[in-house]
Each structure stands twice: as C-alpha cells, then as structure tokens.
Amino acid sequence: MNHIEQMADELANEVISEAAQTFFGQRKTLEEELDRFMSRSRQVLELGKRVMDEQNVLHGVLLDAETIQAFYAAIGLPTPEYLSPAPRDEIARRLSKPTSWTLHGGYSKLLFSAYSRTQSEVDVYLHGGYRDDPTHPKRKIGFSGYRYLVEWAEKLNHTITKLNTEQSAGEVLQFVKRLDSRSCAMEKAAGASCEIGRDRGMLFTCIDFASLCLPVFPEYPPPATVQKDIQRFAKTTCARREPDVRELLRDLKNKGA
C-alpha cells in the first residue's frame, strides 16, 4: 500500500467513524426523547382521570342526563359523549356542604363549586401547571399538558420520518460500503453488489397519538365568566325540579354529617 492509499484509508476510516457516531447518536437522542414522551403521556392520562372524576361529580349535582345537556348548552359547551354521574357519597366527600337561606342559593353554590373544580382540572390537563418539588419543599416544578403533548408528538413524528427517509440504516451502510472501495471492488468482481436496500428492522415507528387513549376536553370557561349563567341555570332548575333538588341537598347534608 502506497502513501496515498494509506492516507485515503485513514480519511475513509475517519469519515466512517464520524458517520457512525452521528447516526447512532441521533438514534439514541430520539429513543431517549420517545421514552420521555411516553412517560409524560402516562402522566397526562392520570390528569385526564382526575378531570373525569370531577366531571362526574358535576354531573351528579346536575341530577340527570336531560339537565346535564341543558347545563352545557347554557354555558356554551358540547355535552360529553359519556355520562357517568358520581354517587352522592362521592359528591359529599368532594364538595363542601353549601349554606344558604334559600333552596336556589344552596343549589347555586353547590353547582358553582362543582363546576369550578372541574374547570380547574381541565385547565391543568390541557395546559399543564406546577407541582411541589420533592427535593425542595419551597420550589415548584412546571409540567406540560395535553396541548403540548399534541405538538410534541407532531415534532417527533417529523423527526422520525426524516431519520427513516434521509438517514436510514440502509443509506448509512450503503454510504459506508462505498467508502470502502477495495472491499466493494472485490464484491463486484465476485458478482455481488455494494447496494444495500434493507434497513433490517431499524426504522422508527411514528407515534399513533390515538393509541395513547387520552381523553379530549374542550376549554371550560373560567368560573367568573359563567357565574351568572350558572346562577340563572340553578334558579331555573330549582323552579322546575324543586323536589329533586331538595332531595339532593338533603342527602348531601346527611352524608356529609
């Protein structure tokens, strides 16, 4: 081997080493980010369960499916597809017993409290929030919500598509083999080909967001902006369903005693 060939081999080895480091480095970075994404999606799913728990309490306060539908129409939101009102034991456990001189006043406070708790959990689910730092009691840690997860999945899928098409294992191996000119020449002389068309199971799979089974909630208006609507709705419901509202408040009083 002459000096020129030796220099060419050294250069090829250096390029091959850098190509391998880049290829596997990018894969490792993506794999780590996918792990973080899946971990966060599981945490967001738990936040979604908290929303549904509070939503079920709200639906229990609203008596039945007909009143639930009327309530959502009154505040300008679609009625959830699946309704599973919480039992009154659960309502009494989560909500403070309202005090008021009138039936309307007591029911209005109860309904507003149930809505406020639901709206708060929906906001955290959609946009994230802050939690206590277990290592520093006085510090808060920010966390993301459903909306960010949607954007994150789109970015990851874009990266996955790019790596699978522009920097696939097959293309990198083909590039490396072409640099190894002597081995390639020997393969061709033997009737083989330097072309590599398979990725041998090394392609990444794009994220199927629907498979995460994360619940979808609309934005719930802040309580202050719909407080008057809720009060009017409570008044109408009390006038139309007085015996049922009295029974509800009486049950909650007895169960909360």
Mean pLDDT, the chain, rounded, equals 80
How much of the chain, in percent, has pLDDT values that exceed 70?
73
The answer to whether residue 8 scores a pLDDT higher than 70 is: no
Using pLDDT thresholds of 50, 70 and 90, give the confidence band for residue 186: very low
Q: Which amino acid is it at 249?
A: L
DSSP class of residue 129? E
Where do runs of H (alpha helix) occur along the chain? 3-61, 65-75, 88-94, 103-127, 146-166, 169-179, 181-189, 223-240, 242-256
Mean pLDDT to the nearest integer, 13-22: 53
Q: Where are the domains of the chain?
A: 23-168+203-256
Classify the phi-psi angles of 133: left when phi > 0, otherwise alpha if psi is within -120 to 50, otherwise beta.
Answer: beta
Q: Per residue in 73-108, pLDDT tens?
A: 999 999 998 899 999 999 999 988 888 888 999 999
Using pLDDT thresholds of 50, 70 and 90, give the confidence band for residue 195: very low
- Distance (Å, rounded) from C-alpha 53 to C-alpha 44? 14
DSSP class of residue 137? E
Tell me which of 131-135, 165-169, 231-235 is least confident: 165-169
Neighbour-count burial of 237, counting CB atoms closer than 10 A to its CB (0-12 exposed, 13-18 middle, 19+ buried): buried
- pLDDT for residue 17: 54
More confident residue, 253 or 236: 236
